[in-house]
Amino acid sequence: MPGKRQSRLDKNAPAAAKPEPDDDSRNLVNSLAKGLRVLEAFTAERAELTLSEVAALAKLDPGTAFRMLNTLVMAGYISRIPDSKRFRLTLKCTDLGLHAIGRADLREIARPILRSLVGEVNEAASLGVLDGADILYIERVRAGLTRIGVDIRIGTTIPAFWSTIGEAMLAFLPPRELARVLALKPRAGGFPHKPMKRDEIERSLRGVREDGYALRNSYFGSGLRVLAVPVLDIDNYPLAAVSVAVPQMQLSVDEFRDKALIAVRRAAKEIARAVQASGTISAAV
């Protein structure tokens, strides 16, 4: 009979291939693997995804994908796009491999330029990029071994609207992107942010845009003056920003500007030219 024949064939057929268990399968964390699949669902071609798209690409049920996305949003690796149902990766994903690959090309381009800048102005110099509502410091060079002010290191994040280097970038963002960034919440961390009204932030940014640089006393009460200049691409989009800092007691605002502004502008332009020549660094965040 056809049914019995089919049963006999099925019985004699080779068993379906099954995934080979890992030698240390008892030590695996399945939920972590699922979370990594969620991150891997995002690509350059799929920079923004909905919950259902993430679930399909990561091969997860919607409930699991929802929990994974919420966890990754809370951890700062994924952000919700305001006024939409879409998500995107944040630059915190690059923090994990910062020394090896994350922004390594930009760091390698900027490092000798920052060293030359420090040698010229004899102050600490930093390079930061915009990461959501925060500035992520990806390179820093000091004139000496003594730390000045707050302890900012590579990988430090600070709310962009509350940092001089952040203002230098925010002031040159297209209006729609600026509105999107200001709608985001800064990452929770070791640097509490000063409450500022939207009109206060925008008024400050207008001044920076008119001057082409940001110069102010540090918001952190660290006794520093900070001057920052954006690194602009050929479309005047801010890829990053360069800053130098000096103790307030050492130089007045005018003295600091006269001493450092030309050198910092030159450094920012050199980095921009090198980025353009390399053709490998995306301005997308």
pLDDT (tens digit per residue) in 222-251:
678 899 999 998 889 999 999 998 888 888
* Cα–Cα distance, 242 to 106 (Å, whole number): 12
Q: What percent of the chain has pLDDT over 70?
A: 76
Confidence of residue 12 (pLDDT cuts 50, 70, 90): very low
pLDDT at 62: 93
Coil, strand or helix at 155: coil
The yes/no answer on whether domain 14-89 falls in CATH 1.10.10.10 is yes
Buried b / exposed e over 232-258, threshold 16 CB at 10 Å, is beeeebbbbbbbbbbebeebeeeebbe
Pairwise pLDDT comparison (91 vs 38), residue with the higher score:
38
Half-sphere exposure of 280 (CA within 13 A, CB side): 11
Q: Inform me whether the pLDDT recorded for 113 exceeds 80.
A: yes
* Cα–Cα distance, 236 to 174 (Å, whole number): 10
Pairwise pLDDT comparison (284 vs 220), residue with the higher score:
220
Q: Inform me whether the pLDDT recorded for 70 exceeds 90.
A: yes
* Cα–Cα distance, 26 to 12 (Å, whole number): 32
Coil, strand or helix at 149: coil
Give ranges for CATH 3.30.450.40 in the chain: 94-278
Coil, strand or helix at 43: coil
Neighbours of 28 (CB within 10 A): 11
Task: State phi, psi for 125 to the nearest 5 degrees.
Answer: -125, 145
**DSSP structure class, residue 184:** S
The most confident of the ranges 90-104, 219-233, 268-282 is: 219-233
Predicted TM-score (pTM) of the model is: 0.62
pLDDT at 17: 40
Report residue 133 CA to chain centroid gap. Answer: 9
Q: Inform me whether the pLDDT recorded for 71 exceeds 90.
A: yes
Comparing 88-102, 173-187, 227-241, 266-280, the range with the smallest average pLDDT is: 88-102
Kindly state the greatest CA–CA separation across the chain.
99
Closest residue by Cα to residue 283 from 103, 63, 158:
103
Closest residue by Cα to residue 170 from 219, 205, 216:
205
* Cα–Cα distance, 73 to 100 (Å, whole number): 24
pLDDT in tens, 171-193: 999 998 998 888 887 776 656 56
User: What does the chain come to in residues?
Assistant: 285
H or E element that contains 240: strand 238-247
Residue 141 bridge partners (DSSP): 125
Report residue 80 CA to chain centroid gap. Answer: 15
H or E element that contains 244: strand 238-247
Confidence of residue 163 (pLDDT cuts 50, 70, 90): confident
HEC profile of 205-235: HHHHHHHCCEEEECCCCCCEEEEEEEEECCC
Give ranges for CATH 1.10.10.10 in the chain: 14-89
Cβ contacts of 107 within 8 Å, gap of 6 or more:
127, 138, 139
Q: Inform me whether the pLDDT recorded for 94 exceeds 50.
A: yes
Q: Alpha-carbon Rg of the chain, whole angstroms?
A: 24
Closest residue by Cα to residue 205 from 223, 181, 188:
181
Fold for the domain defined by 94-278: Beta-Lactamase (3.30.450)
